[in-house]
Amino acid sequence: MQPRIRQFISSQKFHIFSKPKQKSVPRFQLFHNQTRNSENFSEADHDIIQSPAPNPDEYSTISIKALEIQDLLKQINRQNPENEVEQAFTRLKLTLNEDLVLNVLRRHRSDWKSAYVFFNWVSISSGYSPGTGSYNEILDILGKMKRFNEVHQVLDEMSKRNKSLINERTYGIVVNRYAAAHMIEEATQFFYKRVEFGLDLDLIAFQTLLISLCRYKHVEAAEFLFHSKKHEFRHNIKTMNIILNGWCVLGSLREAKRFWNDIITSKYKPDRFTYGIFINSLAKAGKISTAVKLFQAMWAKGCTPDVAICNCIIDGLCFKKRIPEALEIIKEMNEKECCPDVATYNTLIKHLCKIRRMEKVNELLNEMTQKGGDCAPNARTYGYLLNSAKKPDEVVKILEVMERNGCKMTEDTCNLLLRLFMGWGDDKRVESTWVEMERNGLGPDQRSYTIMVHGLYDKGRLKEAMVYYKRMISKGMVAEPRTKLLVDAINIKLNNKDHKNGQNI
């Protein structure tokens, strides 16, 4: 049973047990999900739907075993040579299943070495044959850390074992990770390699490639493929939306306008997603008045805006401090049966917190709680409230409300707590937050280590900052440029200090 957050505050520990967070589909991908008309779920949900979730008792047992494995992996990484891995795991007397393997892997999403050691033991020495879900998870972890030699080894193993293990989710993961690493040619080649895996070279797979390229700012390459492959894959409005969205995500309003005009003059009629993408681009570029006009034109043309488009307009208006107009949009949504959702309220709460309109924030929060369902407060809602906190006592109250409403901690929430407690110099709560992140598979990730390194540096605790930096690097995480510069500065200061101490001696 989940202990009270108040107990965590008093004992410096919290235990919010939640399943590892599933990836959400970025808003710019939402229109792509419509391309699979036969399915009512996104590609990110495949593995969840394929295997039923364990009941709470089973999940508790799995979590306990996963924690044991997690502790063992720490010992192996620090002390034991690789030839003792099999013996160490054998001593645990594990009964492996897909849920346990996935649980362990998800606890090590930012620690590819531990994840790979465990997965190699599972797939080679344990006698258990991992399913597609486990293979996909390790591929995503390795790809995230740009370990493409290991990615190829896993793909080869999948292909040798059974080509049917490689599915659309596998393809999407690898293509996405290639694009994230700016390996455009490799991503394109992997698209054509689908044939070797028994997958079709269809329009949906081509769109997945374009989405991945656009997501990581390779829009020019995506548009080149779009035009050069028009005889293989006929243009349609969904594919054109991908390229339009790419230019919008890149922040190039000029190119977005050019491609918008291409759509308008083509034989393809803009749909709701086309309008939504361009309205979002205009709003992000500060052209909120133009965005509002296009928004109103949608109503006039009988193309009813959905809640995502309304939220975009509300966000743009709030950013320009036109909050009364944003509230009018919400009224209009209710009148025209376009019901607000949690994102609608979150947008208002985010901006109201910035200007410290806390009475209105609490009013909206109560309204969200009363409505429930799609309007119920989520981790992002409480993230905005926590970010506006000025002292630890406010954090305590927000966490208590969060617990009462059954909202679980996420990686983002934990990292935010780390940053707040570091800023306030609350070392005990920093430590307990870190311990519980590890315990519940919510990190620590690269952001967590970055927060610690920078926070400790700001407090003049240079040697401690270096300890966290070395731990981050040892786990295969890549430091941000600003962190590397900071570490250079720390080394200079520490060397100067040692030199002065030597002279004094």
The residue ranking higher by pLDDT, 396 or 9, is 396
pLDDT value at residue 87? 79
Q: Is the dihedral of CA 168, 173, 175, 179 positive or negative?
A: positive
Question: What pLDDT, in 10s, does the model give residues 96-135?
Answer: 999 999 999 999 998 999 999 999 999 988 889 999 999 9
Summary mean pLDDT of the chain: 85
Task: For residue 438, give the nearest of 110, 121, 2 by alpha carbon.
Answer: 110
pLDDT value at residue 36? 34
Q: Which residue has the tokens 């040798």?
A: 160
Distance in angstroms (rounded) separating the CA atoms of residues 127 and 141: 23
Select, from the ranges 18-22, 66-70, 260-264, 501-505, the one with the highest average predicted confidence (pLDDT).
260-264
Of 7-21, 90-104, 187-201, 426-440, minimum mean pLDDT range: 7-21
Question: What pLDDT, in 10s, does the model give residues 352-382?
Answer: 999 989 999 999 999 899 988 999 999 999 9
Percentage of residues of the chain with pLDDT beyond 90: 60
pLDDT value at residue 77? 60
Confidence at 26, pLDDT banded by 50, 70, 90: very low
Confidence at 84, pLDDT banded by 50, 70, 90: confident
Question: What pLDDT, in 10s, does the model give residues 273-311?
Answer: 999 999 999 998 999 999 999 998 888 888 889 999 999
The residue ranking higher by pLDDT, 49 or 404, is 404
Bond before 52 cis per omega within 30 degrees: no
Confidence at 14, pLDDT banded by 50, 70, 90: very low
pLDDT value at residue 151? 97
Residue 53 pLDDT > 70, yes or no?
A: no
Confidence at 82, pLDDT banded by 50, 70, 90: low
CB 225 within 8 A of CB 188: yes
Average pLDDT over residues 192-208: 95
Residue 30 pLDDT > 50, yes or no?
A: no
Task: For residue 286, give the nearest of 254, 310, 320 by alpha carbon.
Answer: 320
pLDDT value at residue 503? 58
The residue ranking higher by pLDDT, 84 or 420, is 420
pLDDT value at residue 45? 34
Angle 314-319-323 from CA coordinates, rounded to 5°: 55
Q: DSSP character for 166?
A: -
Residue 56 pLDDT > 50, yes or no?
A: no
Confidence at 469, pLDDT banded by 50, 70, 90: very high
Distance in angstroms (rounded) separating the CA atoms of residues 210 and 187: 10
Select, from the ranges 145-149, 328-332, 403-407, the one with the highest average predicted confidence (pLDDT).
145-149
pLDDT value at residue 7? 42
Residue 255 pLDDT > 80, yes or no?
A: yes
pLDDT value at residue 502? 60
Residue 210 pLDDT > 50, yes or no?
A: yes
Beta-carbon neighbour count of residue 353 at 10 Å?
Answer: 18
Confidence at 420, pLDDT banded by 50, 70, 90: very high
pLDDT value at residue 16? 34
The residue ranking higher by pLDDT, 485 or 36, is 485
59-81 per-residue burial string, b: 16 or more CB within 10 A, e: under 16: beebbebbbebbebbeebeeeee
pLDDT value at residue 60? 79
